Amino acid sequence: MTDLVDDTDLPLLMAAAESVLDEVSGSFVEGVGSPGVHYKGAHDFATEVDLALERRIRQALQTRTGIEVYGEEFGGPEAASGTRWILDPIDGTFNYSVGMPMASMLLALAVDGEPVIGLTRIPLIGQNFAGYAGGGLLVNGERVPMMDEAPLQTAVIGLGAFNARAEGRFPGAARAELQRLLSYRAGRMRMTGSNGIDVAYVAAGVFGGAVSFSANAWDNAAGAALVRAAGGIATDVTGRPWTVDSTSLVAGNGQLHAELLQVIGEAMPEQVAALRTGRR
């Protein structure tokens, strides 16, 4: 650590992180529409802005807080042990590259794998979400009420994008079945193209709940911290508390979260059972 911020002082660490994101938000806005140039897979890429932002944020955080960074673009030390910043410089890169405003910067602080600070910035529409364990939720710097209990049938649910033909831990067919069941069990569904935005909106009460099937800590850590700061629940699809090792995220208020887990169990029973027994 440096002398600037104590690594146990969550309010000061959050303020330091907010100052870093303040400094780079202009570059985020200026770069919208940048094409994908670094391909990680058939439908996954980074822009030059992703890389530049991660370099700047990483250097500034480490200088000001002395805490190492685990980022999407350049990796870093293991996120599950010690104290680590977890960074996604642009979540919703596809949206960003085509000029859609639903793209965000996600930053979390994890202590031994548990997210304790979360920040989600949506610079193109001027929305900022920040919170820390025990400290409540701030939206654009203003404290908002703790999350209310509400049922699934009246709520908007955020879902991640998917390919119905895809395989993997949570196959596309199972995700499509979840979408089918939610189409008549939930109030509405929305697919923003940014997991981080979905879960920040849950924390702020815009969405009632959200489901992410990403196993990447940088996609979910900030949102999990925000939801918990707002009094909500963040687990994986089996109901285990979310950590950086989790392979999914389910977020919502207590009542809705329980209902959402039930629907997920109906839509993909084999996948949930396999995770519960440690087979995958």
In the structure encoding, which two tokens stand for residue 31, read together?
């770069």
* Interhelix angle 269-276/254-267, nearest 10 degrees: 110
To which H or E segment does residue 83 belong? strand 83-91
Confirm whether residue 117 is marked as ligand binding.
Answer: no
Cα separations in angstroms, 49 against 28, 53, 56, 71, 192: 7, 6, 11, 14, 20
CB 94 within 8 A of CB 103: no
Confirm whether residue 91 is marked as ligand binding.
Answer: yes
Confirm whether residue 90 is marked as ligand binding.
Answer: yes
Please enumerate in sequence order all residues whose Cβ is within 8 A of that of 211, keeping only pairs 6 or more positions apart, or say none. 157, 158, 159, 160, 178, 237, 248, 249, 250, 251, 260, 264
Query: What CA–CA distance (Å, rounded) separates 236 from 105?
Result: 22
Known binding-site positions for Mg(2+): 72, 88, 90-91, 219
Q: Which residues are annotated as a binding site?
A: 72, 88, 90-91, 219
